[in-house]
Structure 1
Amino acid sequence: MSLHRTSVVAVALSDDDSRGFSASKDGTIMHWDVSSGKSDKYKWPSDDVLKSHGMKIREPRSKKHSRETLALAVSSDGRYLATGGVDRHVHIWDVRTREHLQAFTGHRHTVSSLCFRHGTSELYSGSFDRSVKVWNVEDKAFMQDSFGHHAEIISIDALRKERVLTVGRDRILLLTKVPEQSRSVYRAPASSLESCCFISDDEYLSGSDNGTVALWGMLRKKPVFLLKNLHTDIADGMTANGILENGDDHSYVNSCSASSWVSSVAVCRGSDLAASGAGNGFVHLLGVETGKTAIRPLFKLPLSGFVNSLAIAKSGKFLIAGVGQETRFGRWGCLKSAQNGVAIHPIRLS
């Protein structure tokens, strides 16, 4: 589904699997009907309206740059959409009317990740300023700050409990119990973590920049299982020399290059089905065997481009992927053959 002109960096699904949401680097935010594909675009309000919401308008070098969106999340009741990006603000939208409701100020750097606590209007935002902030969208109020990372936060997730899972450029996976402000610190073995998600309250999944997907348990400080080199294979028709086509000195491909970064992981809630995406031409479907503490590769879905975001339908019948020619943060690689957009893949479970 090609609704975006630039790389799609974030996707989400409504709780009933009927609507999808997507955001791209140029600030385009869409929601669309999963079955029909009919789409609606969110219109950014004028600077005057944003100022009335308490937002400080910084004049960037390029006006469009300030709208660059890098994260989105939809509340479980389907009423609110939250977006965040380069302008350092968390924007709240009404899903029914597509109107801009609020701009939360407070982060001192790019808002990189967002998630709602399930069953509530509580929103968690992660930022390059190394903080997680908690907001109440219903009351339009800031609730509290949480610190613990020593570098930029890249990915965030939450379930029903007041716990936040985050990964950052400091190679740390952090589980924060929000009310108590207590933290469990998990250190990744020799790689930078790019993505994370809850499997259950006690188990988590992460993706690394070396093509590894890791399974973590609450009681161990290192991964209980590592699925190594999952995204270091390259799809047919993609040559090692041609996969990254940017013109700078970093345009080499090996297992450590941008094509193998596991930039997205997702879980079908309440099941053992998971998925991971990178830039090597495949989305991997995985079986998480929690009793045996193992991850089993199930199937490879061919998909050209950097898979910057993934979401699996709660029914388990399909997944959506946000795909782009560029990586989510920056331009570490460029796949000119890829199409910017949202891919919907049906899943048949045996």
Structure 2
Amino acid sequence: MSDPFFAPVKKSGGGASRGSSRGGSRGSRGGSRGRGGRSGDSRAINPRPKLDTGKKNRATTSMAGKRKHRGDSDDEDTGSGARRSRKGAVEDDDEGGDEIGAGGIDDMDLDFGESDDDEDDEALLNETPAQKRLRLAKSYIDTLQHTGEDEIGYDAEDIDRDNIADRLKQDALEIQGRLHRHLAETFQFPISAEKAVITCRGHNLAVTSVTATESGLYAYSGSKDGSIIKWDLKTGKKLFVFPGGRKNVVDFKGHTDHVICLAVSSDNQFLASGGKDKKINIWSVQDNKLLHCFQQQHKDTITGMSFRKGQNNQLYTVSNDRTVKLWNVDEMSYIETLFGHQDSITAVDSLAKEHCVSTGGRDRTVRLWKIVEESQLVFRGGGFIRPKKLNKDVVEEPKLVATPGVDGGVIMKEKKDPSFLEGSMDCLAMIDEENFLTGGDSGTISLWNVNKKKAVFSMPLAHGFHTQPLDYSNGEPTPSGGVETPYWITSLASLRYSDMFVSGSWDGTVRVWQIGKNMKNFSLLSTIPVIGVVNDLQLYQPTLSKKTLLVAAVGQEHKLGRWLRIKEARNGLKIVALAPKSKEAEQEGGEDDAEDEDDE
């Protein structure tokens, strides 16, 4: 056809093919080199990505070598003189080494080097998030291992390898909630109240709650007088006071009624407080000022709150309105409300996972809320508790008890099989992501596992009995007679991911407990004398200190009411430093353990 559109396409490189004959090889190849291409080569070159400076220099050198190599090949066609000239050039090149000759980098060498770099670049571009995390983790481990060399040149890589592995394993177990540290036996008991206990006073009414920063620098206490006080944990000195205001005062920057609960974020930036005025106040730890106030979100008294451990400052709050609410403190925003409890919620606790545990007071249930799955697990307590055998280390079983008789009289009867009805579940503490503790007005402490519907272990009458007077008609109890009733469990706190926790009541002691290695029981380890109602407890190891601290909020009254009053008590904080055992005590303890094993 005459139409140029249908004209046959001319193949490129045809002239170069003809030029590769013996008569015109040099001219064609020279022209090819002048244009910077290789049209005379029958092999096609794949397009390459743009090279960096180092690659470009290497490629230039390699190309120069190939051009010289091809020039020598052209000379080879002219005759024996060219062969002798080429041989001499090779010998000169071997002796000098400065100029790349026939023995230089060939085409395969250039392609191989470029393909490796290209493959690395493509691997990085096609890398998945999981592969990237793995690569960064390996790089981090290599960095940690190479930091083991000291100035002398001693390589501590072998020594640090085990420490790095233990550290990574510890982090993974903590995230999964399966890290258990056996620390209870490492502390020195009993504790001397005069030397180890610091008393902090500053509130006019009963102290209801306490919290402390994970750094171990500050502690905060809330009171029925509506104020919050910031304390120095090392010295026990008062640093700052967030005053309370009068009831029903509008736009007051603070609380206008009882402060019931406090919580500090794990990054030590925010302090959250709640109470009877239905407000949730967010304070700045560093600047000591109010940042935000959530009003009228809860419809009744706020009884508990807890920050999720980790980078996300997610806050859980519970109230007498029977709801659990979630907040994003970083954004100062509300997230959602969880429903399920049938009575006032008395406490809430959480750890690293996006879960929280709450106790429902008189509905006698504990609920594990799974936020992401939008589901909940219900653990039912309550009922009559009939201990088969009382722990004599905890309480001495009474032989006779008083019961009311006719005309105001008292009848003394022998107590055979004590049984108590659990009316309310008032406090809880999480040990790890799978185990937690609860306490209530029956005086029983129960150990739970999220995979079991019923409590794994229960300690009835954990703080013993007290005598409940029978007659209050004259405003004072009668001197004779009374009903033996258990001390309520008013507070619980655990040393996270360990085998130790503490409990409080108003029997005059804070009791320290040790959990068994199989997480199926616990036993009394020691007692710390504290006079008053222990309304709240905190037990933790500060990040900036090697000491383990116990902080107790003590008052003359219970934080939720005025059912009792202890005149001998003083409203304030008790800061107790738990000292580790001395080396001699540890050696003696190890010998005792060895003897016990031999006896067995």
Under TM normalisation by the shorter chain, which class is it?
Answer: 0.7 to 0.9
1:308 matched to 2:571? The reply is no
Inter-partner Cα distance in structure 2 for 1:136 and 1:84? 16
Query: CA offsets per residue over residues 20-79 of structure 1, 9 Å max, x none?
Result: 11101111101111112222112458956459xxx9xxxxxxxx8x32110110111111
1:334 counterpart residue number? 565
Match of residue 98 from structure 1: 288
Q: Residue 219 of structure 1: which of 422, 427, 451 is its match? A: 451
Partner of 2:319: 127
Q: Within the alignment, does 1:348 sit opposite 2:570 as a pair?
A: no
Q: 1:36-185, aligned counterparts within 5 Å? A: 36-39=235-238, 40-43=240-243, 49-50=251-252, 66-105=256-295, 106-119=297-310, 120-169=312-361, 170-185=363-378
Q: Is 1:211–1:255's contact at 8 Å kept on the other side of the alignment?
A: no
Q: Is the 8 A contact 1:210 1:255 kept in 2?
A: no
Assess, with a 3 A threshold, how the Cα gap between structure 1 residues 48 and 129 changes in structure 2: closer, same or farther.
Answer: closer
- Rounded Cα–Cα distance in structure 2 between residues aligned with 1:347 and 1:253: 38
Q: Aligned equivalents of 2:482 and 2:496: distance in 1?
A: 34
**Mapped contact 1:276–1:283 kept (Cα < 8 A):** yes
**TM-score, normalisation: structure 1:** 0.88
Largest Rg, 1 or 2:
2
CA contact (8 A) 1:232 1:255 kept: no
CA distance in 2, matches of 1:79, 1:167: 27
- Structure 1 unaligned blocks of 5 or more: 56-63
| Number of residue pairs matched by the alignment | 330
Q: Which amino acid aligns with 1:268?
A: L
The aligned amino acid for 1:202 is: E
Give the equivalent residue in structure 2 for 1:31.
230
Query: Is 1:188 aligned to residue 381 of structure 2?
Result: yes
CA drift of 1:273 comes to: 1.1
Aligned to 1:58: none
Percent of aligned positions that are identical: 33
Question: Structure 1 residues 333 and 313 mapped into 2: Cα distance closer, same or farther (>3 Å)?
Answer: same
Asked if the contact 1:284/1:300 (under 8 Å) is kept, the reply is yes
CA deviations on 1:112-167 (whole Å, 9 max, x unpaired) are 10110012211110000000100111111000000111000001100011111101
Distance in 1 of aligned mates of 2:482 and 2:464: 10
How many Å apart are 1:247 and its aligned residue?
4.4
Partners of 1:223 and 1:109 lie apart in 2 by: 30
Deviation at 1:179, TM superposition (A): 2.4
Q: How many angstroms apart in 2 are the aligned matches of 1:302 and 1:241? A: 24
Specify whether residues 324 and 253 from structure 1 end up closer, same or farther in structure 2 by C-alpha distance, changes over 3 A only. farther
Task: Provide TM-score, normalisation by structure 2.
Answer: 0.52
**Cα distance, 1:241 vs structure 2:** 5.7
- Structure having the larger proportion of residues in helix: 2
Structure with greater strand share of residues: 1
CA distance in 2, matches of 1:44, 1:95: 18
Structure 1 CA distance for aligned equivalents of residues 523 and 216 of structure 2: 26
Does 2:504 match 1:274? no
**In structure 2, how many angstroms separate the alpha carbons of the residues matched to 1:278 and 1:255?**
16
Per the TM alignment, residue 248 of structure 1 is displaced from its structure 2 partner at its CA by 8.2
Farther off after superposition, 34-43 or 69-78: 34-43
How far off is 1:255 after superposition? 5.1
Query: Does structure 2 retain, via aligned residues, the 8 Å contact 1:131–1:153?
Result: yes
Tell me if the contact between 2:468 and 2:485 (Cα under 8 Å) persists in the aligned partners: no
Which consecutive aligned stretches of 4+ in structure 1 deviate over 3 angstroms post-superposition?
Answer: 43-51, 239-242, 246-249, 251-257
Q: Which residue of 1 aligns with 2:86?
A: none
RMSD: 2.6
Q: Flag structure 2 segments of 5+ consecutive residues without an equivalent.
A: 1-199, 384-421, 582-600
